[in-house]
Structure 1
Amino acid sequence: MEARHSALCAEEAEDAVKELRAELAKAGIILPSRGLDPVSFAREAPCPLIELRRCSVRTARRLAAVRR
């Protein structure tokens, strides 16, 4: 059961990254280093975190503007 839960979490995380990538692209924002955090897979019951990593000041401001 735990393996099934972990697989569903990983699938959901991949879908979320794809969705985020698509929505940010529509806004003209690219985060080149986004993806799944490999360390979060090492937990006893893996449920990955989405890593957004670094972005430029310009990109950070554009993300903030989208939020407004």
Structure 2
Amino acid sequence: MDTVERATAGEKITDAEAARDELQAALAGVGITLPSLGLDGPSLAADAPRPLVELGRCAPDVARRLAAALRCTGRER
């Protein structure tokens, strides 16, 4: 991997981290925490990473609150 490819890979990872942080902040704004929210390790490990945001697992009550928040947002559109 050359310097340009390394910079591009770093930018992709930085972008994925920013997306994760945006989602975490938006969820916190409606009182929801996804405890396993993070970046998917294997998607970062390739020579040309294609980072994925891992939503992880949550308790049933959190899933219901998330569904309710999405329904409310859908009604506002």
TM-score calculated relative to the size of structure 1:
0.89
Instruction: Quote the Cα distance in structure 2 between the aligned partners of 1:23 and 1:35.
Output: 14
Using the aligned pairs only, state the percent identity: 50
Q: Which residue of 2 aligns with 1:39?
A: 42
Instruction: Quote the Cα distance in structure 1 between the aligned partners of 2:42 and 2:64.
Output: 28
* Number of equivalent positions: 68
What SS is found at the alignment partner of 1:19?
helix
1:33-67: CA deviations, max 9, x gaps? 11111111122310211111100111111111121
Instruction: Quote the Cα distance in structure 2 between the aligned partners of 1:34 and 1:4.
Output: 25
In angstroms, what is the RMSD of aligned CA positions?
A: 1.1
Poorly superposed stretches of 4+, deviation over 6 Å: none
Larger radius of gyration between Structure 1 and Structure 2: 2
Corresponding position: 1:20 with 2:26: no
Greater relative contact order: 1 or 2 (C-alpha under 8 angstroms, separation 6 or more)?
Answer: 1
- Structure 1 residues 1-68: aligned runs within 5 Å: 1-68=4-71
TM-score calculated relative to the size of structure 2:
0.80
